[in-house]
Chains A and B, each alone.
Chain A
Amino acid sequence: MSLLGRRNRTPAKSTDATPAQPAAGHNASAGTPAQAAAVSIERRRLQHARIPRYAHGSRVPGWDDAVDLTKDPAELPDPAQVDVPRALRLEIEAAMAQYPDSRSAALPALAAAQRHHGWCSPEAIEQAACVMRLTPGYLTAVATFYDMFEMHPAGKHAIYVCTNISCSLCGADDLHAAISHAVDGDADFNVRSFECLGACDIAPMASVNGIYVGPISLDEVDALVDDLREGRSPLPAKQLNRRPSTDAGANDYPGGTPTDQRSEKRGPS
């Protein structure tokens, strides 16, 4: 919960607000619908209580602040004053050279800045803006649109747990809760529930520092976290690139018996 609280994203845009909820399919197993509904009411009450109201009554800070007309308009960062690491500058310039219009390099530039700084900090964005000759405000507007740019300090190990429809049918919400619990309080980890990562064949799955791993059973969560803590490759046997493309056996024998041993483990029990 502390991890989630710190992220402080807007509730409407965030899937990070979901882990406090019971899993999909959970309602059916957790006793009567009556109990489930009571849990749900309590859950919503808690969610609202987490976000304080400001003096003007809104949960959004400064929404009624007037624009400061005395302030100078945004300017391009001065290259003489902004110290851009050489490696970062070269990376952004190489990206800009690839496109007919250099502004197309905004996403690669932000990604590079995030790699160098750990997150899209104001300095990171200013440096990228300085090289690209754009205002930091423009790049901030771009960065906030995309889920993979971290606008707050984030742990170095990014674990994106897919909690979209196919994975959640296979128990992804429980997996997300288990991973969040296993790393609770460890600032090195950035555990997020993520929209469909395009690997429903290995559901429930997670993208661990960009490596697709799945299907992850709940008793493998500790091993996964340990692998990361000790700098090993996460659950090597479960990585997507080890998996043969599709079930070739199934393609050859339509209607045949299930050959995939994973079938025993699948589905909510």
Chain B
Amino acid sequence: MSASLLFKGIDEPGLNTLKVYESRGGYASMHRALRMPAEAVLDELLASGIRGRGGAGFAMGKKVSFLPKGSIDKYLVCNADESEPGTFKDRELMQKSPHMLIEGIVIAAHAGQLNHSFIYIRGEYSEQATILEAAVAEAYAAGYLGDNILGSGLTLPLVVHRGAGAYICGEETGLLDSLEGKRGNPRLKPPFPAIQGLYQGPTLINNVETLCTVPHIIAMGGDEYAKLGVETSTGTKLVSVSGHVQRPGNYEIELGTPSREIIYGLAGGPPEGREVKLWFPGGSSSPVLTAAELDLPYDFNTLAKAGSMLGSGAIIVVDDSTPVLDVALKLAKFYRHESCGKCTPCREGTNWTVKMLERIDDGSATPMDLDIMASVQDQIIGNCLCVLGDAMAMPIGSMIKRFRGEFEAHMEAAQLASSAAGSSSALAAQGAL
């Protein structure tokens, strides 16, 4: 079923201004949270069971509780580098309701006793960054950011930091390096950012949607929030549906909604006369599922059991008019372009996967190539500092597994074509002689 928490009244004109946001009850949760002890706020977050909405699905409350105690510099970084293909939910939140994000950041900073905060927004979102900056200025003027917020003793500056176009900066440690003014190369983990992150200090990194949910958790109470959704995946989720659907867009659902209801009910399904061939349940990095799996409930654990993942909540639908090879090639080229080049399996694996897919396309592949390609994917997974390589290996591997017949048919047809082209050019050459 569709639900409405983050998206309640999202289209109200002027919601991006402090006045309208407050008139709708905004910042009430912040006032409330700042009067509570930090431990009580953290307890609410733990009780809510909210899992990170950025892709990894790690419990947010737990992440906050990992932060070391004591009066040292601790940082909060909001990951707004939404670059996962197919994902556009954070863009909508920042553009329409930036104060909800700021409110969430202040509450989370209070819960973890953090004293610096940053929003790392991707450089392409320049319209949204401008809106955010205006909202941050308003919040400073109202005393919701800066020194001693509302007399609670919490001091929190917030900086909107614009990226400059790199997918890898959405990876948390790559993001930290980029925020420190370096090339966005991921770091070795552990130590995890909660212990040693930005400027070597403890750092809490959360996605925009996760932080936007925090005010709602405080308003409802953690236990009440946990009643939404299913047991291991609580709450609501924004899903971005795109590709071959009639009504692409962001939809807020309760976790556990059947996937068919999202793709057909909300997004209208593929155009008339077409069928769903494959779909990515959680952005382009998630292993693909087929039409047979459309009835799976949309939540973290069910999708993991089905061999895929909920990821960032971006459903990309591909219908039967598109060859699976085109999809695979498009993806592989994307990951090749975005690989930072630091780890060999990813740098070389993405490059060779593209080359092998191109060989299938132009008819110079042998049937063995599919096995080699599948083994390349196996050797990327788990062998790099970050999961960018895995993010290519998992969907490509799943496509080879599920659509092997189609790859083989394409290969044979292309081989026939190239041998025909070869013999005709040989004939032409003879004619010229």
Instruction: Report Cα–Cα, A33/B361, bound state, in Å.
Output: 9
Q: Knowing that A147-B166, A165-B85, A254-B266 are A-B contacts, what are 12 other residue pairs whose CB atoms are under 8 Å apart, sorted by A's residue number?
A: A12-B351, A27-B323, A100-B116, A107-B163, A195-B85, A198-B122, A241-B95, A245-B7, A245-B96, A250-B268, A258-B247, A263-B268
A107 touches B181 (CB 8 A): yes
Instruction: Report Cα–Cα, A105/B180, bound state, in Å.
Output: 8
B413 touches A33 (CB 8 A): yes
Nearest B-chain residue to A149, judged by Cβ? B164
A100 touches B73 (CB 8 A): yes
B358 touches A104 (CB 8 A): no
**Chain B residues, CB < 8 A from A147:** 164-166
Complex partner residue of B322 from A34, A169, A197, CB under 8 angstroms: A169
Instruction: Report Cα–Cα, A246/B96, bound state, in Å.
Output: 11
A161 CB–B CB distance under 8 Å: no
Complex partner residue of B363 from A24, A27, A41, A197, CB under 8 angstroms: A41
Provided the pairs A12-B351, A24-B327, A258-B268 are in contact, do residues A250 and B124 lie with their beta carbons within 8 angstroms?
no
Sampled A-B contacts (20; CB under 8 Å): A12-B351, A24-B326, A25-B322, A32-B417, A34-B414, A34-B417, A141-B183, A145-B166, A164-B85, A166-B243, A166-B248, A196-B86, A198-B82, A198-B88, A198-B122, A201-B248, A246-B92, A250-B249, A251-B266, A255-B265
**Chain B residues, CB < 8 A from A200:** 85-88, 240, 242-243, 248, 314, 316
A63 CB–B CB distance under 8 Å: no
Complex partner residue of A142 from B124, B125, B183, CB under 8 angstroms: B183
Number of residues on chain B facing chain A (CB within 8 A)? 94
Complex partner residue of B417 from A24, A38, A149, A166, CB under 8 angstroms: A38
A37 touches B421 (CB 8 A): yes
B88 touches A28 (CB 8 A): no
A124 CB–B CB distance under 8 Å: no
A130 CB–B CB distance under 8 Å: no
Instruction: Report Cα–Cα, A268/B268, bound state, in Å.
Output: 17
**Chain A residues, CB < 8 A from B154:** none
A15 CB–B CB distance under 8 Å: yes
Instruction: Report Cα–Cα, A106/B162, bound state, in Å.
Output: 11
B220 CB–A CB distance under 8 Å: no
Instruction: Report Cα–Cα, A197/B166, bound state, in Å.
Output: 11
**Chain B residues, CB < 8 A from A198:** 82-83, 87-88, 90-91, 122, 124-125
Provided the pairs A201-B240, A267-B244 are in contact, do residues A196 and B181 lie with their beta carbons within 8 angstroms?
no
Stretch of A81-89, A180-188, A203-211, A223-231 with 4 or more beta carbons under 8 angstroms from chain B: A203-211
B326 touches A37 (CB 8 A): no
A54 CB–B CB distance under 8 Å: no
Nearest A-chain residue to B125, judged by Cβ? A198
- Within A126-148, which residues are at the interface with B (CB < 8 Å)? 141-142, 145-148
Instruction: Report Cα–Cα, A14/B4, bound state, in Å.
Output: 41
List A residues at the B interface (Cβ < 8 Å): 12-15, 18, 24-25, 27-28, 32-38, 40-41, 44, 98-101, 103-108, 110-111, 141-142, 145-149, 160, 164-166, 168-170, 194-203, 207, 210-212, 240-241, 244-248, 250-252, 254-255, 258-260, 263, 266-268
B83 touches A196 (CB 8 A): yes
Instruction: Report Cα–Cα, A32/B244, bound state, in Å.
Output: 23
Nearest B-chain residue to A163, judged by Cβ? B330
**Chain A residues, CB < 8 A from B88:** 198-201
- Within B59-111, which residues are at the interface with A (CB < 8 Å)? 73, 82-88, 90-92, 95-96
**Chain A residues, CB < 8 A from B244:** 169-170, 267
Provided the pairs A108-B161, A245-B11 are in contact, do residues A266 and B271 lie with their beta carbons within 8 angstroms?
yes
Provided the pairs A12-B351, A195-B338, A199-B91 are in contact, do residues A37 and B361 lie with their beta carbons within 8 angstroms?
yes
A145 touches B184 (CB 8 A): yes
B337 touches A13 (CB 8 A): yes
User: Shortest distance in angstroms between A59's beta carbon and chain B's nearest beta carbon?
Assistant: 15
**CB-based closest 8 A-B pairs:** A34-B417, A200-B242, A106-B181, A147-B165, A146-B164, A254-B265, A148-B165, A33-B413
Q: What does the 1/0 interface line of B172-194 toward A look like (CB < 8 Å)?
A: 00000011111110000000000
User: Shortest distance in angstroms between B328's beta carbon and chain A's nearest beta carbon?
Assistant: 10
List B residues at the A interface (Cβ < 8 Å): 1-2, 4, 7, 10-11, 73, 82-88, 90-92, 95-96, 116, 122-127, 159, 161-167, 178-184, 199, 240, 242-244, 246-252, 261, 264-268, 270-271, 274, 284, 314, 316, 318-319, 321-323, 326-327, 329-331, 333-334, 336-338, 340, 351, 358, 361-363, 410, 413-414, 416-418, 420-421
User: Shortest distance in angstroms between A51's beta carbon and chain B's nearest beta carbon?
Assistant: 16
User: Shortest distance in angstroms between A65's beta carbon and chain B's nearest beta carbon?
Assistant: 21
A33 touches B322 (CB 8 A): no
User: Shortest distance in angstroms between B312's beta carbon and chain A's nearest beta carbon?
Assistant: 11
A245 touches B10 (CB 8 A): yes
Instruction: Report Cα–Cα, A202/B241, bound state, in Å.
Output: 11
B183 touches A12 (CB 8 A): no
Instruction: Report Cα–Cα, A169/B85, bound state, in Å.
Output: 12
User: Shortest distance in angstroms between B209's beta carbon and chain A's nearest beta carbon?
Assistant: 13
**Chain A residues, CB < 8 A from B85:** 164-166, 195-196, 200
**Chain B residues, CB < 8 A from A142:** 181-183
**Chain B residues, CB < 8 A from A165:** 85-86, 243, 284, 316, 327, 330-331, 334
Instruction: Report Cα–Cα, A98/B126, bound state, in Å.
Output: 19
**Chain A residues, CB < 8 A from B420:** 34
Instruction: Report Cα–Cα, A9/B251, bound state, in Å.
Output: 39
User: Shortest distance in angstroms between A115's beta carbon and chain B's nearest beta carbon?
Assistant: 11
User: Shortest distance in angstroms between A29's beta carbon and chain B's nearest beta carbon?
Assistant: 9
Nearest B-chain residue to A209, judged by Cβ? B126
User: Shortest distance in angstroms between B218's beta carbon and chain A's nearest beta carbon?
Assistant: 23
Instruction: Report Cα–Cα, A101/B99, bound state, in Å.
Output: 27
Most interface-central of B11, B87, B125, B361 (chain A CB within 10 A): B361
Provided the pairs A145-B184, A199-B91 are in contact, do residues A44 and B362 lie with their beta carbons within 8 angstroms?
yes
A254 touches B322 (CB 8 A): no
Provided the pairs A28-B321, A107-B163, A148-B164 are in contact, do residues A37 and B182 lie with their beta carbons within 8 angstroms?
no
User: Shortest distance in angstroms between B314's beta carbon and chain A's nearest beta carbon?
Assistant: 8
**Chain B residues, CB < 8 A from A25:** 321-323, 326
